[in-house]
Structure 1
C-alpha cells in the first residue's frame, strides 16, 4: 500500500474511529486503499466504525496498525499539506514534508481480518433524520445515562415511536429521567416496541450528527438487534442492547399544580456556587417564595451556601424541596434558551423542568425525584 492523503482528511477519519477504540492498548485500526479512496476501520464487541477519505492511491493495499501509537502520531501531524502512508515490509511508514521532514514507522499486523460494513436483513426499516434535531434529542438525554449502573436500564437510552407518531428518546438512572421527542413520521413497526442503545452508541450518533451533514440515515434490523447509522463517508454499525426497558410512562407526573419560569443561565451559575458548600450527599435545598427562589446547601459542619434569585410568575405559596444538586446542574447545563419552566406538586412528588426555547418540532422534559434531607 502506498498513498498520499491530505493531513486534514487523515486527522478527521482517525478522530471518527475513537468511539470504537475504548482500549487503545489492544485495538487495531484497519486501512484499505483502493483507486481513489482510503477507508479506515475500527471495531470492538458492540461497535464498528468506517470512515472514507479521498486520496492519491499509488499502490492499493490493506494493513492493520496498533491504534494507540497510530492515533498519537496522527494527532501530532501538522495541519496542511499531504501525508504519505507506505507499507514498508512489516511496517507502515508515515511521512510528512511540511517545513521539515517527519517519518514514523509503526508495526503492522498481518493476521487481522478486514470486515466490510455488514448488511441488515430484508426486513430492516430505514429513516432519514435531520441531524440538528437528532443531535438536540441526544443532548437532552445522554447526560443522565451512565456507563455502569445497578439498574440495567440506567445504561441505555430508549428510542421509540410514541402513539402520536413522534420519535422519542428517553434516558433514566432511576433518580432522574429525561425525555425528548421530535415531530417525525416514523416508518414501519420496529420502533413501536422501541430499541435500546448503550451510552457509547448514543455518543457515537451524537458525534456523527455534530459534523457537517444535514441528514443521517438510520437503519434498524427486523429483529431489532442491529443498527446502522450513515452520513457521507461515515458509517457506524451498532449492536443494540437486549435490556428490557421499563414502562417509564407510569412514573411521569400526570398533573402538577404549581409552576414557575426560572432564568436558566442565572440559576446555572447559582447552583454551581451554592454547591461548593454541599456535603457528600450533594443535596440542594430550594425554597420558593412569591417573588424569589432561594438555593442553599450545607455540610454537617459549619459551611453553608445560600443565594437568592428574583422570580416572577410563580403561582404557588411558599414551598421547600430538596434535589440532588448535580442532577439539577446537568439539566441546566444541557438545555438551551433563557428560560426553563419548573413544575411540581407536593414536596414528595417528582419535579419537572421544561425548556422553553427548543428547535421547532422538538419537545423535552426532565424529571427529578426529590430527596429527603436529614436534619
Structure 2
C-alpha cells in the first residue's frame, strides 16, 4: 500500500475514529486502526467490538492495499506534524511495518494483518430515516446528563429512543433516567421512523454521536435493527450494538397531578443554587427550597462548615412548601433549559417534581426530592 494525503484530512478522520479505541486492550488488534486504500480514497476504521467508526477521506492512492497500525500512536504522530503538510503512508513488502513520511520526518509503525480486524457492522437494518443534525443533537443534549452510571441496572446506561403517538402527531422521543432524575424530549417523528423498535443506545455511543453532530445543517441518516444502530453523518459511519435490555415504564414516574406551580427566572435561580451550594459537603448536596407567596428562600446547612441562605423572587401563590433537592441535579437540569423561565410543578415534600420550560412543551424533567 502506498498513499498520500493532506495532514489536515488525515488528522480530522483519525480524531473521529481513534476515540473508539480503548487505551487498554487484551486483544491486540483492537488497539489498531484499519487503513484501506483504494480508488481515490483512504478508509479509516476502528472498533471496540461494541462500537465501530469508519470514515472515508480523499487521497492519492499509488498502490492500493490495507493494513492496521496502533491507533493512538498513529494519531499522536499525525497530530504533531506541521500544519499544511503532506503525509505519505507506505507498507513494507514483508508486511512488518508501515512507514509514515512527512517533510523530513520519518516514522515506522508495526502492523497487524487486515484479516485479523473484526467486523461488527454486518447485519440487516429494518428501519431507515433521515433527520437534521440539530434535531438529533437536541434529543441527546437534553437527556444525556441523566444517563445512569450504575452498572447493575445496565439498561439505564444509555438513552432510550422510540416513537410515540401524541395529540400533536407522531413524535420521536428520547428518555434517560438514573432513578433520581428523568429527562424526556420529543421532536416530530421523521419519515420512516414509524414502527421502529424501541432502542437503548449506550452511553459511549451517545457521546461519539454527539461529537459528530457539530454542523447543524448536515443531515444525519439513522438505520436501525433490534440489535444495532448505524448513523451516517457526512463521510463518517458509526455502527453500534444496542443495550440488550428492557427500559422501564418511565411514564409511571411522571407526575400528573402536581397542582403547585412555581415560575422562576432560570439564570437567577441557577446562580442562587450555585452560590448557596458552595457551603455543602460532597456527601450531602441538599438544598432546601422554602416557598411562600412571591418568594423562595434557598438554604444549605453543613454541620461541619456553616450555612447559607439566599432569597429569590418567584411567581408562586399556592400553599407554603418546604422541599429539598440535590443541588447538582438542579444545576444539571437548569443548564439544559433554553427558555428564560423555568416552571416547577410540585405536590408535596416527598413526591417527584416536574420541571418544564415555559415555551417548550416537548421537553420535561422529573426530579426526586431529598430529605432536608
Q: Same fold, TM exceeding 0.5?
A: yes
Partner of 1:369: 368
Partner of 1:47: 51
Partner of 1:273: 275
Partner of 2:70: 66
Distance change in 2, residues 1:287/1:44 (3 Å): same
User: Which of 265, 289, 307 is 1:263 aligned to?
Assistant: 265
Does structure 1 residue 96 correspond to structure 2 residue 98?
no
The CA deviation at 1:47 is: 0.6
Report which stretch shifted further, 267-276 or 139-148. Answer: 267-276
User: Which of 189, 192, 198 is 1:187 aligned to?
Assistant: 192
Does structure 1 residue 292 correspond to structure 2 residue 291?
no
- Conservation of the 8 A alpha-carbon contact between 2:156 and 2:247: no
- Conservation of the 8 A alpha-carbon contact between 2:37 and 2:66: yes
Q: TM-score, normalised by structure 2?
A: 0.90
User: Which of 53, 57, 61 is 1:57 aligned to?
Assistant: 61
The CA deviation at 1:188 is: 5.8
SS in 2 for 1:327: helix
- Conservation of the 8 A alpha-carbon contact between 1:190 and 1:220: no
User: Which of 305, 310, 313 is 1:307 aligned to?
Assistant: 310
RMSD (CA atoms): 2.2
Matches within 5 A, 1:1-375: 1-23=1-23, 26=28, 27-88=31-92, 90-97=96-103, 101-110=104-113, 112-114=115-117, 118-121=121-124, 124-164=126-166, 165-185=170-190, 187=192, 190-191=195-196, 193-211=197-215, 214-221=218-225, 224-279=226-281, 280-311=283-314, 313-356=315-358, 363-373=362-372
Distance change in 2, residues 1:356/1:239 (3 Å): same
Q: TM-score, normalised by structure 1?
A: 0.89
Distance change in 2, residues 1:7/1:86 (3 Å): same
Question: How many residues matched?
Answer: 362
Distance change in 2, residues 1:166/1:188 (3 Å): closer
SS in 1 for 2:330: helix
- Conservation of the 8 A alpha-carbon contact between 2:149 and 2:178: no
Structure-1 separation of matches of 2:318 and 2:22:
49
The CA deviation at 1:357 is: 5.1
Distance change in 2, residues 1:64/1:93 (3 Å): same
SS in 2 for 1:162: strand
Distance change in 2, residues 1:76/1:304 (3 Å): farther
SS in 2 for 1:273: helix
Structure-2 separation of matches of 1:92 and 1:145:
41
Structure-1 separation of matches of 2:193 and 2:336:
31
Distance change in 2, residues 1:37/1:333 (3 Å): same
Structure 1 runs (4+) greater than 6 angstroms displaced: none
- Conservation of the 8 A alpha-carbon contact between 2:49 and 2:120: no
- Conservation of the 8 A alpha-carbon contact between 2:160 and 2:200: yes
Structure 1 unpaired stretches of 5+? none
Residue by residue, what CA displacement relative to the aligned partner does 1:156-204 show, whole Å, maximum 9, x if unpaired?
Answer: 221111122200010001111000110124536543x511111112222
Distance change in 2, residues 1:365/1:24 (3 Å): same
SS in 1 for 2:362: strand
Structure 2 unpaired stretches of 5+? none
Report which stretch shifted further, 146-155 or 281-290. Answer: 146-155
